[in-house]
Amino acid sequence: MPWPQNTPPQRDGDAAAGIEVTDDFERFTQRNDIFTRAFWDDRIKSKHTAKFFSSYRMEAAPRRGDGFTQRDFALRNAAWLISDVVSSRRAQEGIREGFQAAIRPDTPVAKDALEIGDPAKMSAEIKRIAKFFGANLCGITDMDDRWIYTSRVDARDMSEAPHDLPEGLTGVIVLGHEMDKELVTTYPSALAGAATGREYSHEASIVMQLAAYIRNLGYEAVPSMNDTGLVIPYAVKAGLGEYARNQMVITPEFGPRLRFSKIFTNLPLVHDVPKPRGVKAFCDICTKCADACPVKALPYGPPSTQTSNVSAIKGVKKWTSDAEKCFSFWAKMASDCAICMRVCPFNRDYSRHRNRLWLKLALGPFRKLALRLAGKHGGRRKPADWWAASSPGQD
Ligand code: SF4
Ligand code: SF4
């Protein structure tokens, strides 16, 4: 079955979510995402992209200085392990779970469905169980078809293939996974990539376990990471945070320093609503991420519908990066980059009182003062210092 049939696009709350869809809107095809294009598009394929992907095996990991030593790649690649095990278990069928196809549930849907008398209570329970399994944030929104990819990717030849989603999905449970603050300070480096890999491994196990719980209750639940649909609009609609210039969702709990996963379900749940707090107004006066990007892949100026290439969704007014430029830097470095996360003034430890005070300033009329106070916030820490440190950093 290629498509959930009973979920017409839900556009209520678009304005609150800061989502502006124009008449030119086209749903995105996953075959055009930059990582998939690196396998089929000669514009992207290069010796660097081949080295980037192979560096996730130790025998092919390059070594070149601080942050890119054997130890750095060893930690990064170990951090990815659980995610790799999941994503490669059906590779022979062309199904790259979690990245180019939804994760196939390992648990059947129980024959007898638990009666859900109060969807609000069930929503609270799901959020509690999400945290029990290790998610840092959890929000719920409707199954808005606009953000579902038109197709998945058959990883054998990178062709388009139909999704295999069950009928009647109505909701999306969005989970946020905090990245390690100390490691993020070392971007760009292979060491910092361990923060990314660890969360993908966490995501894989958490979405599989939470989906298994829902299926054991007698409802459909499809675990999903980067596959099947764009998680960012779902995270914003679920009230977890706001979309920012650096292409990330900025949350009050962790700023931009987290990754998101999702579960598609028909469990009766109450949906959250977007919670605009003032991030967009701050991004309007700040360009720290765009200034710091080594390949100038991030936009200046206000949100627009302008796109640089086919790796961006069409017909959505927003800040859009040039994914080709961005990925060219990742490929040359043989690791992921998140300098634009590291330097963002919202990337702070909000367990500290002074950072919570800063957040209040940043989200209100004193945002210019907050920007000035941010100063040179987000400087890089040497990876060797991370290895040498016995105590965490101070910010
Ligand atoms: S990830 Fe790195 S290269 Fe890509 S937009 Fe951010 S700073 Fe630029
Ligand atoms: S660095 Fe500034 S402009 Fe970029 S996302 Fe963060 S707050 Fe917004």
Distance 71 CA to ligand 2 centre (A): 32
Give the whole-angstrom CA distance, residue 154 versus residue 9.
26
- Kindly state whether residue 192 falls inside one of the protein's structural domains: yes
Q: What was the pLDDT predicted at 12?
A: 65
Tell me the CA distances in angstroms from 305 to 165, 202, 278, one per residue in order. Answer: 30, 34, 21
Tokens found for residue 6? 């009973």
- 296: three-class secondary structure by DSSP: coil
Q: Identify the burial level of 353 via C-beta atoms within 10 angstroms of its C-beta, where 0-12 means exposed, 13-18 middle and 19 or more buried.
A: exposed
Indicate whether residue 34 lines ligand 1 (CB < 6 A): no
Torsion angle of C-alpha atoms 270, 271, 277, 279, degrees rounded to 10:
150
Residue nearest to atom 7 of ligand 1 (CA): 293
Count of domains observed in the chain: 1
Residue 259 CA to ligand 2 center (angstroms) comes to 17
Looking at residue 11, its pLDDT comes to 67
Indicate the range of 148-157, 330-339, 372-381, 386-395 predicted with least confidence.
386-395
The number of angstroms, rounded, from the C-alpha of 191 to the middle of its chain's C-alpha atoms is 19
What is the C-alpha to C-alpha distance for residues 349 and 354, in angstroms, rounded to an integer? Answer: 9
Predicted confidence (pLDDT) per residue in 163-218, tens digit: 989 999 999 999 999 999 999 999 999 999 999 999 999 999 999 999 999 999 99
Q: Please give the backbone phi and psi of residue 363, each rounded to the nearest 5 degrees, phi first.
A: -95, 5
Residue 390 lies in a domain: no
Nearest C-alpha to atom 4 of ligand 2 is from which residue? 289
| Residue 107, domain member (yes or no) | yes
Nearest of 338, 114, 164 to residue 244 by alpha carbon: 338
User: Which atom from ligand 2 is nearest to the alpha carbon of 287?
Assistant: 3
pLDDT of residue 104: 95
pLDDT score at 17: 79
Residue 393 lies in a domain: no
- Going from the Cα of 147 to the center of ligand 1, the distance in angstroms, rounded, reads 23
286 lines ligand 1 (CB under 6 A): no
Structure confidence by residue, pLDDT tens digits, 302-337? 999 999 999 999 999 999 999 999 999 999 999 999
**Residue 188, both tokens:** 């760009």
- Using a 10 angstrom Cβ sphere, with 0-12 exposed, 13-18 middle and 19 or more buried, the burial of residue 24 is exposed
Distance from the CA of 364 to the center of ligand 2, in angstroms? 15
- Flag whether pLDDT at 275 surpasses 90: yes
Ligand 1 atom with the shortest distance to the CA of 341: 6
pLDDT class for 10, splitting at 50, 70, 90? low
Region 87-103: mean pLDDT is 97
289, 340, 348, 368: residue to mutate for ligand 2 pocket, most atoms within 8 A of CB: 289
Which domain range does residue 362 map to? 14-384
pLDDT at 3: 39
Residue 282 Cα: closest atom of ligand 2? 7
- Asked whether residue 3 is domain-assigned, the answer is no
Closest Cα to atom 2 of ligand 2: 286
Residue recorded with tokens 């079955």: 1
Tokens (6 digits) for 261: 């996963």
Rounded to the nearest whole angstrom, what is the distance from the C-alpha of residue 362 to the centroid of ligand 1? 23
Could you tell me if the CB of 283 is within 6 A of ligand 2?
yes
Q: Are 140 and 272 in contact (CB under 8 A)?
A: yes
Q: Is any ligand 2 atom within 6 A of the Cβ of residue 170?
A: no
Domain for residue 389, yes or no?
no
CB-CB contact of 121 with 128 (8 Å): no
Mean pLDDT for 51-73 is 95
Q: Residue whose CA is closest, atom 6 of ligand 1?
A: 340
Q: Identify any residues that bridge with 178 across adjacent strands, giving them in sequence order.
A: 258
- Cα–Cα nearest to 336, from 211, 198, 152, 171: 198
Question: Which of 137-141, 281-285, 288-292, 389-393 is predicted with the least confidence, judged by mean pLDDT?
Answer: 389-393
The answer to the question of residue 395 being in a domain is no
What is the atom index within ligand 2 of the atom nearest the CA of 248?
A: 5
- The protein residue whose alpha carbon is closest to atom 2 in ligand 1 is 337
Closest by CA to 200, choosing from 103, 72, 60, is 103
- 321 Cβ closer than 6 Å to some ligand 1 atom: yes
Residue 131 lies in a domain: yes
- In contact, 361 and 370? CB cutoff 8 Å: yes
Is residue 331 within 6 Å of ligand 1 at its C-beta?
no
Picking from 86, 214, 246, 193, the residue whose alpha carbon sits closest to that of residue 138 is: 214
Indicate if ligand 2 lies below 6 Å from the C-beta of 293.
no
Ligand 1, atom 8, lies closest to the CA of 293
Predicted confidence band at 390 (pLDDT cuts at 50, 70, 90)?
low
Nearest CA to ligand 2 atom 7: 283
Which residue owns the Cα nearest ligand 2 atom 6? Answer: 344
